[in-house]
Structure 1
Amino acid sequence: MVPLVRHPFYIRPVPRLALLLLLPLLLGALPARAACNDTPAPGVDFRRCLLDERDLTGADLAGAVLRDASLIRARLPGAKLAGAEAAQARFVSADLTGADLAGASLLGADLTRAVLLRARLTGADLRRAKLFRTDLTGADLSGANLLGADLSYAILDGARWTDGTRICAPGSVGACQ
């Protein structure tokens, strides 16, 4: 009989019963996905949720995942969305007055006719976002990335532009004057 030679990196197999007992612990370590009707909270995962017309006034959604979510006509005045991941989200006609979207990823998001009065968009990624007829009066766009964004008919009165120093003149529509 030939003696069994083990490879130096051989790892003894874990018994199946041990795996079955450890599985709930391993799964508990993963971030839980929120149901779409859960209470808003920092870091919540509302990916692909329909939140149309929902009242989220002052909600703390910092770091939330809103990718592909629909927030059409949602009310978000004063909401905290700093660092939120909202690529391809739909905020059509949503009220984001005074909302904090600093550092948020809004890549390809649809903000058509949204109200972003005095909103904080510092460092936000707005590449290819639709800002058609969006009201950005008094918004702070310092450091925001607007590459490929559609600003057609967007109201920019008094908005702080991406360079962080220029304030758009009254009557600025579609471009910062």
Structure 2
Amino acid sequence: MPSRPAPRRALPIALALTLIAAPAWAACTDPAGPAVNWRRCYHDGRDLKGVDMSGAMLREATFQRSDLSGATLQKVDGYRAKFFSAKLLGTVLDESRLIEADFTRADLSGAKLRGADLRNAKMVDTILKQADLTGARLDGTDLRNADLSGATWTDGKRTCATPSVGQCN
């Protein structure tokens, strides 16, 4: 009679649940790219011009004094991300989740923020000249001293006058 293989031993339930529920940790040394997970990573002072990080996880990451000019950050999750004094000239941030993000003194001239969720974001002294805010959610956003000259306002129809500081005139 042929012998049957030994039955497989199941993993203990606690170990199996640990393996299934283990969080995916950010790999802060991973190169910039679409869907990169840089959650809680520090990228202060980095040159990230022109990179494509569409769909990236940038929750609570910091980019203080970094240059992200011309980058594509479409549909990123940047909840509470910090962009203090960063350059985001012409950066595409369309449909990104940037709730409570901090853009204090950042330069977003010509940036695309169409459909971006910027609720409770901090944009104090931020340069938003010629930025496109069509469909952006700005509830609770602090635009104190922000330069909105020439920006397309959230309705997609109105262009902010020059000068427009702190609000779209």
Q: What amino acid is aligned across from residue 53 of structure 2 in structure 1? A: L
- TM-score, reference length from structure 2: 0.87
Please say which structure displays the higher CA radius of gyration.
1
**Would the aligned equivalents of 2:26 and 2:40 in 1 still touch at CA under 8 Å?**
no
Counterparts of residues 66-105 of structure 1 (less than 5 Å): 66-105=58-97
The TM-score normalised by the length of structure 1 is 0.83
Partner of 1:16: 10
Does 2:106 align with 1:142? Answer: no
**Aligned counterpart, 1:156:** 148
Match of 2:3 in 1: none
Aligned residues: 157
- Structure 2 unmatched ranges of 5 or more: 1-6
For 1:16, what is the secondary structure of its paired residue? coil
Q: Give the drift of 1:38.
A: 1.5
Percent of aligned positions that are identical: 50
Deviations 1:8-38, CA, capped at 9 Å, x for gaps: xxxxx97327x9xxx8xx87xx996452121
- Give the letter for the 1:141 counterpart: L
Separation of aligned partners in 1, 2:80 and 2:8: 43
- State how far apart, in whole Å, the 1-side matches of 2:55 and 2:38 are: 11
Runs of 4+ in 1 over 2 A off after TM superposition: 13-17, 30-34
Q: Does 2:44 align with 1:52?
A: yes
d(CA) in 1 for partners of 2:26 and 2:79? 18
